[in-house]
Structure 1
């Protein structure tokens, strides 16, 4: 089983903090002056027509560019390549894969045996054909995964989204007959939490009716639902309050036994965990509320500390024996250290095989594999050597065996998949698949640099460019960043970016801004709430460093980001429009005075702060792009991109910003995919168009 930190803006999110009275007092003046509130009506005819009109102008413009067809052909060839290596995960000894191609646009959920996967032409057993299912059901299904019941994995809870939204339909599936189970566990479209407890029982959090969801739009009630009974008769197990982020229950199946937990997320980074005892009662796990639960291993609860605890530093992974939980805080005397961070090495997540743990460590921004074993009362750590100066990580484990899958990748090296036996004292790995190269890496070089932010902090970044690059300030340069939610920006194979950008002479820059997880909890905490502005100063500092080193100049420099990264680029260009000639603002937050009132926005107040708090409102107004943009300033011709079906970050952010800038007379581009959810795209064809638009725009602006 794998427990790891999530990247980008997550489906599980945070909480509203102040009173309704304060919200009303603060909201009325601002809402009264916002003439574009009608664009927050996601699927109103008027708002949709606005998006369609903008799409038409954007598509007509870029499709006239002779480069569009060339870029589209290159991207299509890569994304639909017949020799793509299927990514796989372990389940009961088999390898599972979700596959999309030109014939299966929505995708196939399928499996094969390990030995078959090693061959040039694996024999795949199709479990669900999503295209056929969508046609049969008359639905626009987008695959959102499935949860199978250990240890035999003969039943599954399948998650299907209409158009790519986070909200899903849940349907029970028989893995043997390959049929949905009539009268089985089934839920209508909602942002639900559903987990197996046993073959005839699930723990479910969903919309049970009025007042059953939090202000963030997630379940606040968890019930135990027995097979063959109506959901209305399900027994309530735990309740939160509307101001909580979410409440959920889940079960972990281990070789030593089955463990059921209930969690109340009171904030994005804080929660209370309860363990269900055999008699059905619950005991609170006596750990700090900001500690991150990382599963059960050998009858011990694993926690990653976000703050110091006794003699354990923040960023440490500790183990708490299950039989000590009832001691309350006295149980801390029995905590054991598994992993301690250093100045450059931190933990990102944990996965477990039958007898071993694998730690996802980040060492000076790069990932390394560490294997942990529990020997009596001591933990032993070993490095598993794989690859060079890039990313080595375990991709899949299972609790039923010690088999594991690992990968190595870097900017210029396509991923290779390996299989190993955790019990092997030599930690040998067998190469079983290697992805073909998608661009020519010859003559390209990866370098690392430091920029100095306004407060003196050194901010690292990667640069990929021709090794004989001329430092004449004329190189088209794309700077990509995120800077939030503890998400580390790390190297990955550049694929289509390498083909359509690097091969054509572009420079690619990946930033490691504060707010991410590159250097542990402190790196993230440094820019929360009232200190948020420092992220944008970090981004600007890297841009200025690229210009000062002669890599590029404002005429040839562009920035890009999605989600929180869309806020990053939005805040950056409104503060320093003089630095850029291209800006991509993808699925963004932009109206930071209303973000907490739109969809899942309330869940992110631990990150950005509560705009209804006068002090936070003042801090937010210093960077909020929607409020900061004005008619007097000259801005680059920005490209805003979003999705109608994004039910996480509201499309109204991008729509309103576009409408306001249009009224102020600023030139811009806008594209709103009518499907796709927060990912922006629901299938490969939509991804091809999205990426082609991005790179046509970048070359048009930066060459």
Structure 2
């Protein structure tokens, strides 16, 4: 499964319509005008705010050093070129100082394993942008199996989720003249055959959901105008969206899958048999991951017959096409385990998955055997994160990475059909001095007695007097896990200079499976906020740091978390960075793609849920007499998933109340803020300067 719809909707699914919400009265909101995302008046306000913020942060003598170090790490020539296997060859999107937007290039698998591969550039995004007068950002590629010669290249202008799709010929290394060329839309497309696509996109008025995603699926033939495409499935405007994909296996079986997302977590899975779409009787909380030996492979987030929640399971394709849904368990995680969402892949003969045990990863291989499945763990080092990078179609090879807070990332090649251990192919050199650093895992008791784990990275022998400047982050939503990772920039800019770092595994995430997520969903979400605050108090009790020395940050759904922590517990933090957030929880359903988050947050149309949203909404919780640490709020204009509206309004309310704040809005970069490597380095440097000012004070770089 390509998981394109999950990627398109994102973690804290947000997008921009720029429209005015209809979910709450606007008469008492003096900052409603800032919801006009690209309006002249709001952008003038942004420009004024940016000048004020940059005048302070960029004037700090530490900024040039932080920026130079972040840029050097982001553009380092010796970093790992993350691979994608297509037709036996290795492809890579590479950015460096000479190519800040990137080049898409290819080499052989054998050459890739060498120290200095010979690459052939296929697409130069910087040159293409200059030629066409648009800033193109790479968003991926989908190739026609099994020969994988023709591909659909997805390009975004400025980093938006909306993409243009262009046909590219890997053999000639050129865009296909007169080939498939789908204009910008939030869309998904896959190949049925060389002359046929299955597509969901904006087909015109009345074809997008309230969340701004497509709900109409059509078959598009080569040379056919969009208006002539044949409709084969239609959801409803109340859905989140509908996304097609085509799954194939080594035996020649093909499944044309239509995922109709009715809410963020519940979907109808349908199979198109050439004449009609057949609904497969599967649980609502399920994701299709691929096709192996005639079996659909799924991950389910709810119990279904004998299959427990959070499990990997399979279903014979022939049964699915006949409307039968008797799942067979592939792997059932234990109470402190989880199958990492988004880290499941299929090869010709196997399923590969990252499985976490108490937030420590391993990779497992599952192969069909008679009526069941055999399993084995790949031989990897313990206590590290494991992430699947790519797996080939037409074979059993793939690549994965392992990393930890002080362990630089290593890229390993595996063969799912072999019992041999994965072999190291590339290793990232250390980006910071980790000598003397230790990693510990602790637990904090939350408000309901639940023990919540967190990781602490700090210098061995650091004084236990609460004086260590410490950064803490979490996500806490959408069943997304936060696992240990190597960050050269955080290490260089913060840890190497004596700071500590905390990663909190709070509820709402997927660290311990669906139950961990469910415990913090909708009106139970206060437990997510309590978990985070309890970890801060545990750090204080251990004398690791203190409120004056503790800075926190988070983005998207994590930005909401930061807004709540600022307003509910201002006494616990010395600094708060709120990144690309949602903050107005009474109007969120009508801002951008807010309707798609109802299954996570609740709806103002439900009295009980509205009451809870009103009680926690950071925009409404601000008080004129509040004693808040000065937050740094940043967002991007081009973010069409979250949108800058929440951040703007929150900053404007703080200004209205005479409260201290910093606000910055970058004009490009989309939700991730990385239209090019320079932008990412700039955002990192600005944020680190802010934390240094608040937690350390004036000082040399």
Q: TM (normalized to structure 2)?
A: 0.95
Unaligned runs of 5+ in 2: 16-20, 697-701
Over 3 Å counting, the alpha-carbon distance change for 1:288 and 1:617 in structure 2 is same
Q: Is the 8 A contact 1:14 1:244 kept in 2?
A: no
Kindly state the Cα deviation for residue 93 of structure 1 after the two structures are TM-superposed.
1.1
Distance in 2 between residues matched to 1:192 and 1:3, nearest whole Å: 13
Which residue, out of 515, 518, 533, partners 1:525? 518
Q: Is the 8 A contact 1:452 1:458 kept in 2?
A: yes
Which residue, out of 535, 547, 556, partners 1:542? 535
Over 3 Å counting, the alpha-carbon distance change for 1:327 and 1:81 in structure 2 is closer
Which residue, out of 354, 358, 361, partners 2:355? 361
Q: Aligned pair 1:160/2:152, yes or no?
A: no
Matched residue, 1:121: 116
Q: Is the 8 A contact 1:461 1:510 kept in 2?
A: yes
Matched residue, 1:296: 291
Matched residue, 1:217: 212
Kindly state the Cα deviation for residue 291 of structure 1 after the two structures are TM-superposed.
2.2
Deviations 1:505-556 (A, max 9, x none): 1010000010001000000011111111111111111111111111111110
Matched residue, 2:468: 475
Distance in 2 between residues matched to 1:116 and 1:370, nearest whole Å: 27
Distance in 1 between residues matched to 2:489 and 2:115, nearest whole Å: 24
Matched residue, 2:265: 269
SS of alignment partner, residue 82 of structure 2: coil
Kindly state the Cα deviation for residue 11 of structure 1 after the two structures are TM-superposed.
7.3
Distance in 2 between residues matched to 1:434 and 1:411, nearest whole Å: 15
Matched residue, 2:18: none
Query: Which is worse superposed, 477-486 or 607-616?
Result: 607-616
Q: TM (normalized to structure 1)?
A: 0.95
Which residue, out of 624, 631, 634, partners 1:631? 624
Which residue, out of 608, 628, 633, partners 2:601? 608
Kindly state the Cα deviation for residue 354 of structure 1 after the two structures are TM-superposed.
1.2
Kindly state the Cα deviation for residue 305 of structure 1 after the two structures are TM-superposed.
2.2
**How does 1:388-399 map onto structure 2 within 5 Å?**
388-399=382-393
Which residue, out of 580, 592, 602, partners 1:587? 580
Kindly state the Cα deviation for residue 13 of structure 1 after the two structures are TM-superposed.
4.9
Deviations 1:211-259 (A, max 9, x none): 1100000111111001112111110000011101101222112212222
Q: Is the 8 A contact 1:2 1:397 kept in 2?
A: no
SS of alignment partner, residue 147 of structure 2: coil
Over 3 Å counting, the alpha-carbon distance change for 1:53 and 1:699 in structure 2 is same
Distance in 2 between residues matched to 1:197 and 1:512, nearest whole Å: 41
Query: Which is worse superposed, 528-537 or 67-76?
Result: 67-76
Which residue, out of 372, 383, 400, partners 1:378? 372
Which residue, out of 405, 414, 429, partners 1:436? 429
Q: Is the 8 A contact 1:486 1:516 kept in 2?
A: yes
Matched residue, 2:197: 202
**How does 1:453-472 map onto structure 2 within 5 Å?**
453-472=446-465
Distance in 2 between residues matched to 1:654 and 1:470, nearest whole Å: 37
Q: Aligned pair 1:188/2:187, yes or no?
A: no
**How does 1:289-438 map onto structure 2 within 5 Å?**
289-325=284-320, 328=323, 331-332=325-326, 335-348=327-340, 349-425=343-419, 427-438=420-431
Over 3 Å counting, the alpha-carbon distance change for 1:8 and 1:525 in structure 2 is farther
Query: Which is worse superposed, 143-152 or 477-486?
Result: 143-152
Distance in 1 between residues matched to 2:12 and 2:623, nearest whole Å: 34
Which residue, out of 477, 483, 491, partners 2:484? 491
Deviations 1:260-312 (A, max 9, x none): 112211000111111122x5233211111122222221111222222222222
Which residue, out of 220, 242, 251, partners 2:246? 251
Distance in 2 between residues matched to 1:684 and 1:381, nearest whole Å: 40
Kindly state the Cα deviation for residue 319 of structure 1 after the two structures are TM-superposed.
1.3
Deviations 1:152-181 (A, max 9, x none): 221111111111111111111122222222
Deviations 1:570-617 (A, max 9, x none): 011100111111000000000011111111111111000112322211
SS of alignment partner, residue 32 of structure 1: coil
Deviations 1:322-347 (A, max 9, x none): 22235645x42xx3221011011221
Over 3 Å counting, the alpha-carbon distance change for 1:14 and 1:576 in structure 2 is closer
Over 3 Å counting, the alpha-carbon distance change for 1:558 and 1:460 in structure 2 is same
Q: Is the 8 A contact 2:86 2:393 kept in 1?
A: no
Over 3 Å counting, the alpha-carbon distance change for 1:218 and 1:8 in structure 2 is closer
Matched residue, 1:506: 499
Q: Aligned pair 1:228/2:214, yes or no?
A: no
Which residue, out of 150, 169, 177, partners 1:174? 169
SS of alignment partner, residue 497 of structure 2: coil
Matched residue, 1:39: 34
SS of alignment partner, residue 295 of structure 1: strand
Which residue, out of 552, 558, 565, partners 2:551? 558
Distance in 2 between residues matched to 1:221 and 1:394, nearest whole Å: 31
Matched residue, 2:83: 88
Q: Is the 8 A contact 1:4 1:350 kept in 2?
A: no
Q: Is the 8 A contact 1:13 1:245 kept in 2?
A: no
SS of alignment partner, residue 565 of structure 2: helix
Query: Which is worse superposed, 445-454 or 284-293?
Result: 284-293
Distance in 1 between residues matched to 2:229 and 2:152, nearest whole Å: 18
Kindly state the Cα deviation for residue 151 of structure 1 after the two structures are TM-superposed.
1.6
Q: What is the RMSD computed on CA atoms of the aligned residues?
A: 1.8
Q: Aligned pair 1:569/2:559, yes or no?
A: no
Q: Is the 8 A contact 2:447 2:534 kept in 1?
A: yes
Distance in 1 between residues matched to 2:123 and 2:332, nearest whole Å: 43
Deviations 1:394-420 (A, max 9, x none): 322112011121221111111111212
Kindly state the Cα deviation for residue 6 of structure 1 after the two structures are TM-superposed.
5.6
Q: Is the 8 A contact 2:211 2:593 kept in 1?
A: yes
SS of alignment partner, residue 139 of structure 1: coil
Length, aligned pairs only: 688
Which residue, out of 99, 103, 108, partners 2:103? 108
Distance in 1 between residues matched to 2:304 and 2:208, nearest whole Å: 33
Deviations 1:175-223 (A, max 9, x none): 2222222322112221111111111000111111111100000111111
**How does 1:639-678 map onto structure 2 within 5 Å?**
639-678=632-671
Query: Which is worse superposed, 590-599 or 515-524?
Result: 590-599
Kindly state the Cα deviation for residue 466 of structure 1 after the two structures are TM-superposed.
0.3
